[in-house]
Structure 1
Amino acid sequence: MQLELDQIQGTVLRDRPMPYVGAYLLYQIDDADQARRMLRRLIPYVTTAADWQGPDAGAWLNIVFTHPGLRALGLPRDILDGFPREFREPMRTRKEFLGDLGDSDPGNWDLPGRGRFDVGLLLMAPDQAAFDAKLAIGHGAQADLDGITRVDRLDIRTPENLREHFGFVDGISRPFIEGQGGEPKPGQAVTKAGEFLLGYVNELGHVATGPGPQALWRNGTYLSIRKLHQNVAMFRRFLKDHAQDADGEELLAAKMVGRWRSGCPLALSPDKDTPRDPARLNDFAYRDDDPDGRKTPPGSHIRRVNPRDALTDTIVDARLHRLLRRGAAYGPMLPEGVLDDDGVPRGAVLAFVNADPGRQFEFVQSQWINDGNFISAGTDQDPIAGSHVTDSDFAYPARPVRRRLRGLPAFVVTRGGEHVFLPGISGLRHLAGATAG
């Protein structure tokens, strides 16, 4: 089934430009009529998955809503109550389940700055001029509406070395969505559209739906947004303290992530970082080629969040927990070689596209990142993304004996998060004309 590209907001299917300049603009709604007026002004400028040609290619403006935001717009109670529990409840209230403890506790969050937002604009562009043009549209739509208050802005930008803050090439692995058009790359898993978009069949064989009229939810989805601070100096010191030389540091970093910093996977080059065809960086599996994790450790980051075929003989079907990850960096790079923290905020904002936040993002976060039972690793967590508020080790096969690193610190800590609803174009129009019920 071909997807309705002109009805789907662009961030779902289209990759970010590289390099990129962008921002998250967050607003609070105090006047529903003014909020609907703002929406009507913005809708003609919302970028769809079909809008990827011409002079504006690669720049987009998309709109998301929190559950309180939909309530503030006047959606009836029966529709509001029909949304998934994970979306209805603030993410900060789910801290125990998601592992947002210790330094990641919501009491330390700074996004949004005032603790709540109702509507968000996601802006992305390949250069400053294109970004400024999108920003002007957002500002213009809200400028004379005092019933809409901007409560936060987070700027995102490509780091100087075109990599994420730990030094790894980012944005390599993503599923190919059935019906999106084109052909999958070698090794790219083809996934039912209903895993990421409402109104289409999912991997369970059901049509993913939402509450209320079809116009509200068809071609929409949920983004599970996380603002993550990266302790870069801590990561560098850890590598130095547990390796004998620079080559050993690079190997250890690769073992923890599952890829070399260039993006080359250990599955294809386990002993050294070897240049590879970018189109083939996902052309590998685990079950037959690396069942014991001698190349890619079972506990490494990429093997945890996407086990591929490694769980074939278990009761867990990895296809039911796929995520489509959109990531962008914030804050300046820590200069190369610096091992002391400078106190400057830096990290990533991740937006996980999923049609079922409980079965997808929250399952992966709670069971695969912050628990090790599914790979018989007890309480050991993801070495990169785990919360590590309790003792957590990282072990991997090595010669002559298995290596175990004890007491991993929290290299990544949560600084904000929320499940948001990203409607299709018909859903935006419905909300722009919605009245209280």
Structure 2
Amino acid sequence: MAFLTDLTARFKREHVTLALDDIQALILRSRPEPYVGLHAMLHIDDAEGGRDLIRRMAEHIPSAAGWTDDREAWMGMALSFQGLKALEVPQASLDSFPLPFQQGMAQRSEQLRDVGSNAPEHWDPAFQPGTCHLALTIYARDQAALDVAKAKAMDELGRSHGVTLVAQHAFGADADAKNPFGFRDSISQPSIAGSGIAPTPGQERAIAAGEFILGENSETGAPVAMPDPTELGRNGSFVVLRKYQSQVGAFNDFIRNQASSEADEELLAAKMVGRWRSGAPLVMSPDHDDATLGADPGRNNDFDFSKDPRGLLCPHAAHMRRLNPRDSQLTILTDINIHRIIRRSSTFGPKWQRSLTAQDDKGDSGIFFIFISARAYDTIEFFQQEWINRGNFIDLGEERDPLVGLQEPPGSFTIPETPVRRRIDGVNTFNRLRGGEYLFMPSLSALRWIGNADWR
């Protein structure tokens, strides 16, 4: 596995300053390519039974101490605020969590701009308020490895009482790791100081560990506020999970209606995303796709936008440039490094096909947009309010992200050109929100603290 070989070569244990043996591996360990996996959502009906399950399940969760090692599969575990409450975690600890986490994603719909077709009343039953208490994620190299890991998890669940499996959802992608729209996904990841891994070309400097790991110093020079007591908060992180149903056929139709040839279709799609389907960035290959570049982790993220200030190569409104402006000049200034996230998104449904139309959209394709950050809730609400559902920060008024924005017809997309920029109308909501939750991913010692009710 090329990505694992590259990690192993760049990992220097003498540069590690984080407590890797206490951090869940899923925080630092990227998914394999190809990958398969499972998301499971559970509801805790009985505190003692829930704590017993967590205590036993924690034994199956690997630490980040061997996050560069070869593994067939691994699991991560995270809890919602209502889940912690159902486990009877002390009120003083519950009160120490950030307010958005306490309220939950559904109650934060106004701040998240989750209205209209994306409003909570349209969400899947598993994500209705108070339903998802415990989320388990398994990543595996292949189906055989997933079956083994899933059997272990289901065996532990079967031995439990007072815990209900409310939903499970399989996901996966082939070696190209492409999302439902046919684009290579999750290429850009931050380098984390103290993890032992040197930055790859294009990652610039390592980001302060406290932007991702609670208890470590952040970009401000001090730790982000974490839950009390230290046994619960330290070495954990926060997680945002959002399930999107992708309108692949509608996206294809839109591209076809705006282009006069297949080559023009590919160029317009790349302009909307910021990369070609292979993952090759527009700023490095502006005129044609380059599959070799797209598949090369040493080059496909080695760029910035300093030589494209007008967006003639990669539009400012492109999905990729919006969510990681790098060194773009922004109308509304912000410190980009405190909005960096670890992406753990997963794709589900059939592979993209050019022939698909809107009539083929059956709700079977989509993306679990998952990210990890010590500032997760401030970050996602900032993204949703400013970078996704508004264009003021790039001087585009109310223009929204062409892929994940909630569009108000007629949605538009602006492509800078010479002598005047081109505006394309008719952009639809191509990814419809079908649920989500704010989660806390405890350290391994914190899982034991919860499982053993060590506050007693």
2:308 to 278, 284, 290: 290
Structure 1 residue 333, shift from structure 2 partner: 3.1
More displaced 10-residue stretch of structure 1: 164-173 or 129-138: 129-138
Q: Which residue of 2 aligns with 1:356?
A: 375
Pair 1:321–1:311, CA change in 2 (3 A): farther
Q: Quote the Cα distance in structure 1 between the aligned partners of 2:330 and 2:114.
A: 30
Q: Is this contact kept in 2: 1:352–1:361, CA < 8 A?
A: no
Alignment check: 8 A CA contact 1:218 1:426 kept: no
Q: Which residue of 2 aligns with 1:398?
A: 417
Equivalenced residue count is 435
Q: Which residue of 232, 252, 267 maps to 2:248?
A: 232
Matched residue SS, 2:383: helix
* Corresponding residue of 2:342: 324
Which of 186, 189, 195 is equivalent to 2:211?
195
CA distance 1:313–1:386, shift in 2 (3 Å):
closer
Partner of 1:410: 429
Tell me which of 168, 171, 180 is aligned to 1:153. 168
Question: Does the 8 A contact of 2:192 with 2:208 survive in 1?
Answer: yes
Cα-to-partner distance string for 1:107-131 (whole Å, 9 max, x where unaligned): 1111616651111111111011211
- Report the 3-state secondary structure (helix = DSSP H, G, I; strand = E; otherwise coil) of the residue aligned with 2:344: strand
User: How big is the shift at 1:58?
Assistant: 4.7
Q: By how many angstroms is 1:392 displaced?
A: 3.1
State whether residues 391 and 399 of structure 2, in contact with CA within 8 Å, keep that contact through their aligned partners in structure 1: yes
Which of the numbers 281, 284, 299 marks the counterpart of 1:280? 299
Distance (Å, rounded) in 2 between the aligned partners of 1:419 and 1:358: 8
Deviation at 1:256, TM superposition (A): 0.5
Kindly tell me: are residues 12 and 108 of structure 1, through their superposed partners in 2, closer, same or farther at Cα, counting changes over 3 Å? same
Equivalent position to 1:184, from 199, 218, 223: 199
Match 1:62 to one of 76, 79, 95? 76
TM, length-normalised to structure 2:
0.91
Task: Mark the CA change 1:312 to 1:109 in structure 2 (over 3 Å): closer, same or farther.
Answer: closer
What secondary structure is seen at the aligned counterpart in 2 of 1:238? helix
Deviations 1:213-267 (A, max 9, x none): 1111111001100101110000000000001111110110111111111101011
In the TM superposition, residue 315 of structure 1 has moved relative to its aligned partner by 3.2
Q: Identify the residue that residue 4 of structure 2 maps to in structure 1.
A: none
Indicate whether 1:89 and 2:103 are aligned.
Answer: yes
> Which residue of structure 1 aligns with residue 325 of structure 2?
307
- Find the aligned partners of 2:339 and 2:264 in 1 and give their Cα distance: 33
Counterpart contact for 1:52–1:58, Cα < 8 Å: no
Aligned equivalent of 2:12: none
**Which deviates more, 296-305 or 324-333?**
324-333
Once the 2 structures are TM-superposed, how far is the Cα of residue 401 of structure 1 from its aligned partner? Answer: 3.1
Cα distance in structure 1, aligned partners of 2:137 and 2:356: 32
* Larger CA deviation: 420-429 vs 305-314: 305-314
The structure with the greater share of residues assigned to helix is 2
Quote the Cα distance in structure 1 between the aligned partners of 2:149 and 2:49: 20
Q: Contact 1:320–1:359 (CA<8 Å) still a contact in 2?
A: no
User: What is the alpha-carbon distance in structure 2 between the residues aligned to residue 119 and residue 331 of structure 1?
Assistant: 24
Give CA deviations for 1:38-96 in whole Å, capped at 9, x if unaligned. Answer: 112112211222234666x1511111100000011111112111111111112112222
Shift of 1:170: 1.0
Is the Cα contact below 8 Å between 2:180 and 2:348 reproduced in 1? no
* Per-residue CA distance 1:394-416 (angstroms, 9 max, x = gap): 11112453110123110111011
Structure 2 equivalent of residue 386 of structure 1: 405
Question: Is residue 136 of structure 2 the alignment partner of residue 118 of structure 1?
Answer: no
Distance of 2:216 and 2:150 partners within structure 1: 32
Equivalent residue for 2:447?
A: 428
State the one-letter code of the partner of 1:307.
P
In the other structure, the counterpart of 1:74 is 88
Which is further off, 383-392 or 83-92? 383-392
Q: 3-state SS of the aligned residue for 2:244?
A: strand
Q: Which residue of 2 aligns with 1:219?
A: 235
| Contact 1:109 1:414 (8 Å CA) reproduced | yes
The answer to whether residue 51 in structure 2 is matched with residue 33 in structure 1 is: no
In structure 1, C-alpha distance between the alignment counterparts of 2:97 and 2:45, rounded to whole Å: 22
Q: What is the aligned partner in structure 2 of residue 20 from structure 1?
A: 35
Farther off after superposition, 225-234 or 308-317: 308-317
Give the letter aligned to residue 241 of structure 2. Answer: I
8 Å CA contact 2:330–2:393 kept in 1: the answer is: no
CA contact (8 A) 2:240 2:371 kept: yes
Relative distance call for 1:50 and 1:17 in structure 2 (3 A) is same
Residues 45, 370 of structure 1: alpha-carbon distance in 2 compared, 3 angstrom cutoff: same
Could you tell me which residue of structure 2 aligns to residue 243 of structure 1? Answer: 259
Taking only aligned residues, the RMSD between alpha carbons, in angstroms, comes to: 1.9
Q: Distance in 1 between matches of 2:144 and 2:441?
A: 26
Cα distance in 1, alignment partners of residues 411 and 362 from structure 2? 25
Tell which deviates more after alignment, 195-204 or 277-286. Answer: 277-286
User: Taking structure 1 as reference, are residues 284 and 411 closer, same or farther at Cα in structure 2, changes over 3 Å only?
Assistant: same
**Secondary structure in 2 aligned to 1:406?**
strand
Q: Structure 1's 257 and 334: CA in aligned 2 closer, same or farther, altered over 3 A?
A: closer
TM-score of the two chains, using structure 1 as the length reference: 0.95
Structure 1, residues 171-203: CA drift from partner, whole Å, max 9, x if none?
Answer: 210110111112111111321111111011111
- Which shows bigger deviation, 394-403 or 374-383? 394-403
Task: Provide the residue aligned with 2:387 in structure 1.
Answer: 368
Deviating more after overlay: 316-325 vs 376-385: 316-325
1:98–1:197 CA distance, 2 compared to 1 (3 A): same
The SS at the match of 1:329 is: strand
